[in-house]
Amino acid sequence: MTTPLVGPDPDDPSFVYEEFALLGDNCAEFDLPWDGTAHVERVETVLSDGRKSSAIKWGSGSPEVVFLHGGAQNAHTWDTVALMLRPRSLLALDLSGHGHSSWRADGSYNPRTNAVDAAATIDEHAPDARLIVAMSLGGLTANSLAATFPWLVERLVVIDVTPGVNRDKAADIHAFIEGPQSFASFTEIFDRTVMFNPTRSASSLRRGILHNAHRNADGTWEWNYDRSHVGDSGTPPEVERLPADLWDDVSEIPAPYLLLRAADSPVVDDEDVAELLRRKPDARVEVVQASGHSIQGDQPAVLAGIIERELALLDG
């Protein structure tokens, strides 16, 4: 192991994962106040075909911000940002096929199908949401959501993605996602994750894996997200074969739009920004310094500040 693993060893047979028991670690890493409690719970929506869409609800009121994560992630990617935004009420979705949400029999997890599932969840649990914050695959999903269900999206923040994304721009992301499904030990899955996320702390990566993988009875570890539809190329269809007309969704979005471009990520280039502004001339673009693709992981305080600013703009 090249990076020391801090905390109880997840390979120890006595180790038990409790998803909300790790929030204190988030607070400790970023010097946030923590009294051992948080108003947070799991909520579910039963979709029209009987599948379940799961989400994490923060706060006691109707959520005013909804979060959509990227491919191969889950709702916990937003935990630190949510803790920084306390006591605001928020909703972080597990996209279909990810986290606690049901897998699709057809393996179709593209932005259009994701948007339909997300709309049902938002309509039930966050009908008064004022802001959607979404990254990567979640960002493309948010574009389709805002174009197809505009009454659910009052304002939109998209993190480091446009419909111009392709395999070359997201090469490192593809390489990580297309790796093994199972690992002999937590040490093995941890070391691979560290290798592909050199800017992240060992503590944050440990948490991320525990939220996104599980230990089998034989002691091996597997990712939780649906990889059953991965083809011969090793690439999930929603990553390799995005609908060709996703830019049309951007053209149809009536809501105010902010694109956050990560300074250290190649996923969005200047041509993408130019096309975004051609499709939606009133869109704003900001660059977040010292951040890779997952701004919520690399610069959570910066993102939390931007979210507070966007909500303030809604307040006038």
Helix (H, G, I), strand (E, B) or coil at 7: coil
Residue type, 74: N
Q: Annotated active-site positions, please?
A: 136, 160, 293
Q: Are 113 and 242 in contact (CB under 8 A)?
A: no
Helix (H, G, I), strand (E, B) or coil at 57: strand
Q: Are 95 and 114 in contact (CB under 8 A)?
A: yes
Q: Are 153 and 139 in contact (CB under 8 A)?
A: no
Helix (H) or strand (E) holding 41: strand 40-46
What is the spatial distance between Cα 125 and Cα 139, in angstroms, rounded to a whole number?
20
Q: Which residue is listed with tokens 């020391």?
A: 4
In sequence order, which ranges of the chain are alpha helices (DSSP H)? 23-29, 79-84, 111-125, 137-148, 171-177, 186-196, 202-212, 237-240, 246-252, 270-279, 295-298, 300-315
Q: What b/e readout covers 179-204, taking b as 16+ CB neighbours within 10 angstroms?
A: eeeebebbebbbbebbeebeebebbb
Give 16's contacts (C-beta < 8 A, 6+ positions apart).
none
